[in-house]
Amino acid sequence: MTSSDNQFQSTEKEQYFSSQSLNRTILRHRAPVAIALVYYVWILYSAWSMSDLWSWNLEDGLIWSSGGFGMFFPIPIEPGMAAVITQAGIIDQVFYLVFIHSGIWILWIILGLLYIFSPYRLNVGVVKRKLGMKSVET
């Protein structure tokens, strides 16, 4: 570049985030996150409403206090009515430990709502240039 080319370059610093108005198009693009968030809240509510039917301890993990096989994920189902203690499946135990017991569910809900209703978007091109990645032309 010559010195005359440098005079015409913008003196503004490239921003990682840009502001945009929330319109129907933006909200439509963020709809899958909204659907996933509603699904996640439904599972958490179902787990809370079934809280008298399951318990957690270090020795046995997650156990259902009534007979039959209940589950949290992918569709919450209450266990049967028999007075038999059964151990939950590995997927339900992992789901319980990661999302319910650790308290990370609060963070997931907050981040989901912030993403859906945020008027800012990430400028991927600026991030790629800053990291030295090649931009993909589409």
Residue-wise pLDDT for 51-83, tens only, equals 777 777 777 777 777 666 667 667 777 776 666
User: In angstroms, rounded to a whole number, what is the distance separating the alpha carbons of residues 56 and 48?
Assistant: 13
pLDDT for 68: 61
Beta bridge partners of 107: none
Range 82-99 average pLDDT: 77
pLDDT tier, 35 (very low <50, low <70, confident <90, very high otherwise) = very high
Q: Edge to edge, what strands does the sheet with 86-87 contain?
A: 54-57, 61-64, 86-87
Predicted pLDDT at 114: 87
Q: State the Cα–Cα distance between residues 131 and 138, nearest whole angstrom.
A: 20
Distance CA 102, CA 82 (A): 30
Between the CA atoms of 66, 68, 70 and 75, what dihedral angle is there, to the nearest 10 degrees? Answer: -150
Rounded Cα distance between 40 and 19, Å, is: 28
The reply to whether omega before 74 is within 30° of 0 (cis) is yes
- Amino acid, res. 74: P
- What's the pTM value of the predicted model, to 2 decimals? 0.58
